[in-house]
Structure 1
């Protein structure tokens, strides 16, 4: 009970402010101050949410989108870490790809979707490829920057002691870069989630993005808003799960980490 009270005292504003906004929205709908045909009331949206939840349509579409994100995100993160390490540690490679990466990185994922559909078709491959591209750049940039920020004295000591590449990576570089890499992963999962919605809006027969687009064509604004808010809530849950994993893997503090690295090298 005490933990709940402490949590509420720390987060009461984040609870009260949305509730006030919902009450204002509901009141405006009840007194016909807004056109409910275009913006249904919160109570009506919540009602539709439970209907879609009970008939399984919302859960089914969300699960399809989440599976797509998981597959594409795993590919994008893996490639981002591998390529990022190589680029950060190889100056010649860094110079070689600087111009290419400079052109490709600013291109939004949604611009790739028509190209990917032409190359891979409208099945799962194009959607997973779009998610992979979206998450790849966030992780790549974080990995490169994290390795650049590694304390040079640790690398110098490892070099003096003639530690091999594997030992230097696992015992020196990787532990010191994990906090920044996780920052890139959090950004990457956000981009991946947005990428799958964009892909499903353009070409899909299932998924939360498809549900939103199909409801829009039928002018079912309440279902559209259920889908939109479900995307946001699912994004929050995914981000919190990543934070839990980050806290679990990064239990050390700075002093403990420094002592551990010094002992290993």
Structure 2
């Protein structure tokens, strides 16, 4: 009987350990599942590019990037979403009936106004390039990761303009493996992954994104905003901007 119990316990332990083994192959399995994105990786003149759209000039140079292709998701290319550079606002009181009391907003405090960005409207843009109190900022929201943040846009003493790349990325070791948008800047065409607050390719590789002061923004419900900041300005619905064609391109050595 004792011999039987010993054998039973050993078997349970052995096979339970065996069940853990596939974890060592998680990344390999992921690569197999996402093999369809391999067509988004382009090789030209010895450099590696990530598909950015039908226009060949839109592909992203990822020759030096720090991500793994097999952990990319989607792949619609740049300008799939419509980031804003000249956002327009309305009085919150005139727009409040479009929202529920419990709806959440990124609430940004300035010296003269409070600006609010509805989370249920942000997925249409994902990125708002804004200047508040003379400070260039970007307001971002990724619905897949439920990630909202406000960042400075000034890096290396230069102002950047950001937009979604059309890709998301996940890393099992970052925020429980949730996938979140990859951004790009229009001045150097480097890629950035906000979940680690860093550039992941291009001229700006490993440069950091800096979060805006935490006492200057927060997530609030409509009810809270109306109670405390009834004069707030809310991002207008239905905005759509043309793709900018004249943006500065920074010299690759400017931030060394």
> Quick one: higher RCO (CA 8 Å, sep 6+), 1 or 2?
1
Tell me if TM exceeds 0.5: no
Which protein has the bigger helix share? 1
TM-score bin, normalised by smaller chain? under 0.3
Normalising by structure 2, what TM-score? 0.24
